[in-house]
Structure 1
Amino acid sequence: MALHHAASGEIVNIRPLGKELQQSISVTLVKTDQLQVFRYILLKGEEFAEHKVRGEITIQCLEGVVEHISPGRKQVLHAGEFVYLAGDDLHALKGIEDASVLVTIVSNRN
């Protein structure tokens, strides 16, 4: 079965999951040639290993607390905060509390 991705003009719920957070899975909400938006679930103690992406990225904490790790820097993101990363910036995430983040990647693939 193909995963549903939002169509142009479709409203997508990104509200905090609350009590459903621990049973939820990460999902891609939008995927086009130049844009990808996904909700990533990161439970307390889990890590999203260091990696880099070609495109520019924003990581917005929707709920909980995550640690954003990049070379020489550690930052804590709380609900309602986001961080911008230029393309090819190394980064990793770690769940400080159960959390969900909204990740947006914009690429110039032509």
Structure 2
Amino acid sequence: MKVVNIFEEGTFSDKAMKKNLVHDSPYFRIINFNFRAGQELPIHSHELEGELSIQVLEGEGEYLAKDRTLPARAGDILVCAIEESHGIRAVTDMRVLVTIAPPI
């Protein structure tokens, strides 16, 4: 058992989004991404079976999909198949928590 406070450990970078590995196991992976306004994780997909979630903890932005964008605000969580195209763009500074199962 462990406790990680991503608000204390997760940092921001003006150059590019900041990626912080929170947890990694054979069952799932948790990653904290911190974005400055205007930064993004481009649309991408993975040729694997499984699911992921992208939860906005702080800030506002947009979930990115192949053919649309969806609002992404604090408290919102996107759930999709890993093989489905996904990404996120920050409108304001954002903290995001991504969970991937099984881990890639």
Q: 2:42 aligns with which of 49, 73, 76?
A: 49
106 and 44 in structure 1: CA distance in 2 versus 1, 3 angstrom threshold? same
Count of residues paired in the alignment: 99
Identity within the alignment, %: 25
Please tell me whether the aligned partners of residues 29 and 103 of structure 2 are also in contact (alpha carbons under 8 angstroms): no
Deviations 1:65-101 (A, max 9, x none): 1211112221111111111011201112111111010
Indicate the structure (1 or 2) with the bigger Cα radius of gyration: 1
The corresponding residue for 1:35 is 28
**Partner Cα separation in structure 1 for residue 51 and residue 76 of structure 2:** 17
The two structures, once aligned, show a CA RMSD in angstroms of: 2.5
* TM-score (ref. length: structure 2): 0.81
In structure 2, runs of 5+ residues without a counterpart are none
In structure 1, runs of 5+ residues without a counterpart are 1-8
* TM-score (ref. length: structure 1): 0.77
The corresponding residue for 2:82 is 87
The corresponding residue for 1:68 is 63
